[in-house]
Structure 1
């Protein structure tokens, strides 16, 4: 029997076809094809022209299935661009041990420096999306925790990993300045009612049509809590005038930005993303000196 507990192993188009035949025979004859750009948390397949199937690659990613199915319809009417539409939930079957999801297909090209027509305009669009998301009633929303991989939670959750990474990178980066950035993040907290956050606003989850933002996908790490994690794109995609355009348009306070730099630094340290580390350190100096 296939070991589906080994990451992406065993998940393929044939499995999707068997699951459809077993659970959704109305779609069993649709062609099943892998999407061109896929993530690690889920394998995604296009079903015909209008649908997709998303299959978690490990148990830790399964919480997103019920969460997205419940909350995507709640969020969608308040957001300025398209987001995934939950169509159906699949159950474990054919040896595959996890729940899975069927979504509506969204046309668009993954955001990149080549596909975005105007970075400043794109920065404003992302800021508009974030503010619209934060404005949605967060009552009874899923509080940040394991389901969001602690995005939206206090940065102290990542403290041990950050300290260990700083020790490992001693001599390769300015660890004193990096520790200053981290301490500044730990010194602040989200002291207001929790708000909605996406949790992974990254280029791979942003779709573009005619050079403009047209959709935001993959709400698997979404929840309610501290929205600082949604500012990370300032350092991973924007720079110069587009970063400043984003900073102005998204209108978050200095403490939230301090936590955003801390969150970005943690991730960049553990992945050894030196360009992002340098951007965070430079921005800390610019904003605090």
Structure 2
């Protein structure tokens, strides 16, 4: 499946609902967003339909959300898109699709958090999410939640690409942050539930703080440092220490070192996607670049602290 193999329209969405969930088919349908893996269509005021359109992996990710988010959502302090219905592949659309609750807010890549209390809101969300996961919880895609050292090849590739494109001007400083993180002691606690992909387009804001978290396609279990690295990308200047003080249990020094490595990986990826449109995606997501550059500056400036 590529971007052009099937055209997703409001008429198609209505037809799919008529076929499989007719009680929802009379609601107004309008485009909400074209995301990384899925298109999101508003369904009335309180629901949304997500249909995979860009990657083969999106099918399994939707089914994973349908299985696990209803279990996790009740304990989370921020709204998340709770699955309501599952659509199965058909002649009209040969892939699964999902109906979820609609989460209002503006993506943080377009409207960044500016309020000091955003640090506590993010810490509260991750404290409640990061609970021990069952043995049959999903494994992270591309090593998310696993040993950071296993991502050394990906780090080297991303840094080299960013340097070649002129997007990173002090690679030695960035590499030093990574090497310190990759040599930190490994996580020895239980595998905890993780969002797995807390980049700014997946976190929503209102009135200067966070008001929702979306896209749990990379939901998995593992090392909490994978999620904790997001604080450098998401929070306003001067808020990272406040976040660490509010998160429970307080992260130890090794976890913070690993989190810095995850933050470097995420920042490099967002810079490449935002400014170069790499990884086979059509065009860049320009709003992803500024928070990622800011995160790299913060990480380099506080190296060793």
Q: TM-score, normalised by structure 1?
A: 0.84
Contact 1:119 1:242 in 2 (8 A): no
Q: 2:7 & 2:216 partners in 1: Cα distance?
A: 24
Distance 1:83 1:121, change over 3 A: same
Gaps of 5+ in 1: none
Distance in structure 2 (CA, Å) of the matches to 1:163 and 1:210: 38
The answer for unaligned runs of 5 or more in structure 2 is 273-288
Cα displacement (A) at 1:85: 1.7
3-state secondary structure, aligned to 2:84? strand
User: Offset of 1:187 from its aligned partner?
Assistant: 1.4
1:111/1:281 Cα in 2 relative to 1: closer, same or farther (>3 Å)? closer
Cα deviation for residue 233 of structure 1 reads 2.8
Q: Which of these residues, 171, 176, 185, is aligned with residue 181 of structure 2?
A: 185
Is 244-253 or 267-276 further displaced after alignment? Answer: 267-276
Instruction: Note if contact 1:177-1:281 (Cα within 8 Å) is conserved in structure 2.
Output: no
Match of 1:206 in 2: 203
1:124 to 116, 120, 124: 120
Question: How far apart are the structure 2 equivalents of 1:84 and 1:165?
Answer: 31
Partner of residue 223, structure 1: 220
Change over 3 Å in CA distance of 1:13–1:113 after alignment to 2:
closer
Aligned 8 A contact 1:142 1:223 in 2: yes
User: Which of these residues, 81, 93, 115, is aligned with residue 78 of structure 2?
Assistant: 81
- Tell me the distance in 1 between the aligned counterparts of 2:214 and 2:126: 13
| 1:70 aligns to 2:57 (yes or no) | no
Residue 42 of structure 1 and its aligned partner are, at CA, apart by 0.8
Cα offset for 1:242? 1.8
Please report the TM-score for the alignment, with normalisation by the length of structure 2.
0.80
Match in the other structure for 2:172:
176
Matches within 5 A, 1:127-276: 127-135=123-131, 137-146=132-141, 149-168=142-161, 169=163, 172-188=168-184, 189-250=186-247, 251-270=250-269, 271-272=271-272, 273=289, 276=292
Verify the 8 A CA contact 2:195 2:218 in the aligned structure 1: yes
Write the distance in 2 (CA, Å) between the matches of 1:14 and 1:156.
47
**CA RMSD across the alignment:** 2.7
Q: Distance in 1 between matches of 2:216 and 2:291?
A: 26
* Change over 3 Å in CA distance of 1:274–1:183 after alignment to 2: farther
